[in-house]
Chains A and B, each alone.
Chain A
Amino acid sequence: MENKAVIEIKELYKSFGAVEVLKDFNLNLFEGENLVLMGKSGSGKSVMIKCLVGLMDFDRGSIKVLGKDISKMKQNELDEIRTDIGFLFQGSALYDSMTVRENLEFPLRRHRKNSERKTEELVKEALENVGLQQTIDLMPAELSGGMQRRIALARALILKPKIIIYDEPTTGLDPITAKEIILLMMNIQKKYATSSIIITHDVDCARVISNRMILLLDGKNYAEGTFNELAASGDPKIKAFFK
């Protein structure tokens, strides 16, 4: 599993006024790995992923994505590297003024010079991957929460990214749909050999999908290991995550 690191975060600090959200946070994501990040609300997980994709500036430290330091990138270089990162938002974040087809075409038209036929093929393939071919001409508002999440996953995958970041992929879904999403994530990982960071509070999701886990507490790495290692820990703070 210990391949080369596709994401390296070193000594990351981020504060909002006097409140330090991330304090000396470190993370390595290796090629083909599913890394689960767990932490209490307000522990800095969302801030970390926003720093990682360049949506937020950080105070100190370094973030390297595919070997490139993102803090030294120009806007066009950052846009380019973002095409190698798929992002599944907690609320799906589908463009609600566009149909499912237009949502999927949106990144393709901007970053790939494909013919109309090729674009159509790629859209259909992405929808097939998530089992929702029949929704192609529907608007996001006409879909259920689980379907929206799957379409968002199809959109995140359409540029064939090397890395996928899942922000609480099962939150707000019923247990059956949550399981479907987890299976889908595993299938995608197998099919495209992506590396993933999964932020979740869902212990079942973490158990099934993780190769390695990091527990985040007060903006710092508190513990790191496989699911079984951490679940067997006697530390009450670690135990609290698995209750």
Chain B
Amino acid sequence: MKILSSYQSGLSSFFLEIGEMGKFTGRYFRELFSRPFEFREFLKQCYQMGNKSLLLVSVTGFILGLVFTLQSRPTLMEFGAVSWMPSMISISIVREIGPVIIALICAGRIGSSIGAELGSMRVTEQIDAMEVSGTNPFKFLVVTRILSATCMLPILVIVGDFVALIGSAIIENIKGDVSFTLYFNQVFAALEFTDLLPATVKTFFFGFAIGLVGCFKGYNSKKGTAGVGKASNSAVVFTSMLLFVLDFIAVFITDIFYN
């Protein structure tokens, strides 16, 4: 009985949180289109999220390309299909693996940092200080961060995908004696508009989810410094889960439209 009631209360608090997040999202869209626009802060956040995540995304993408090619090579050789390597790698990376892996990396890097930053601002009364100075903290802190994450993630994914393909091309060059020109010719021949468009569109939603959850958890953080850690941690966990759900929805919709 006790277990049942704990599940019930867990479930009800989960749905309450979803409801709160819905209200938070509604407020974001209302504030997004109202003046004043915090353009300077938006650019600053774009720099923080974009430029400072670039190295991490590039290294991850590069290793992803290397490992994926190394792992796939023996199987393709067994079937005599090694010449399909550039096509297979590029489609897999651009359509699915690149966006999902890089979004997960960014959920860790960007989502947790937003959660921790806003959480610590909340518990040290910096958000209250902003409000009593006559500045709307939601607009200044939340709107700019969500918008920056939404705009920066597609760019990071494009960079990550490209670096992953370079990693793959290096392995193919070393192991298969395939020139870079030939490799990339095959990549571009294999990729179609229907691969690029849905993959890019979904990264906007991934970026929005990362910014939204990080801001929601941080902005509503409570219970002192422990609350800051919890906000940061739950931002990453919740975003990661949400990314897979969004990915499933995106693939499902793409399937309806293109197949």
Contacts and interface: CB of A to CB of B under 8 A. Distances in A.
Contacts of A93: 124-126, 128-129
Interface in B59-117: 117
B131 interface: yes
A241 interface: no
B132 interface: yes
Interface residues of A, number: 25
A111 interface: yes
A97 B117 contact: yes
A107 B134 contact: yes
B133 interface: yes
Contacts of B135: 79, 106-107, 110
Contacts of A230: none
Interface in A68-83: 75, 79-80, 82-83
B131 A89 contact: no
Interface string A85-118: 1010111011111000000001100110000000
B134 A111 contact: yes
A4 to B, nearest CB: 23
Nearest to A88: B129
Q: Is the interface of B mostly helix, strand, loop or mixed?
A: helix
Contacts of B126: 93-96
B34 to A, nearest CB: 10
B133 A106 contact: yes
B129 A87 contact: yes
B95 to A, nearest CB: 37
A130 interface: no
Contacts of B117: 97
B254 interface: no
A79 B134 CA distance: 4
A55 interface: yes
A53 interface: yes
Contacts of A155: 133
Contacts of B133: 82-83, 87, 106-107, 110, 155, 159
A91 B125 contact: yes
B125 A85 contact: no
A83 B131 CA distance: 10
A82 B125 contact: no
29 contacts: A50-B128, A53-B132, A54-B132, A55-B131, A55-B132, A75-B136, A79-B134, A79-B135, A79-B136, A82-B131, A82-B134, A87-B129, A87-B132, A89-B129, A93-B124, A93-B125, A93-B126, A93-B128, A94-B126, A95-B121, A95-B129, A96-B120, A96-B124, A106-B133, A107-B135, A110-B133, A111-B134, A155-B133, A159-B133
Given A91-B125, A95-B129, 12 more contacts: A53-B132, A54-B131, A55-B132, A79-B134, A79-B136, A82-B133, A87-B133, A89-B125, A93-B125, A106-B135, A107-B135, A110-B135
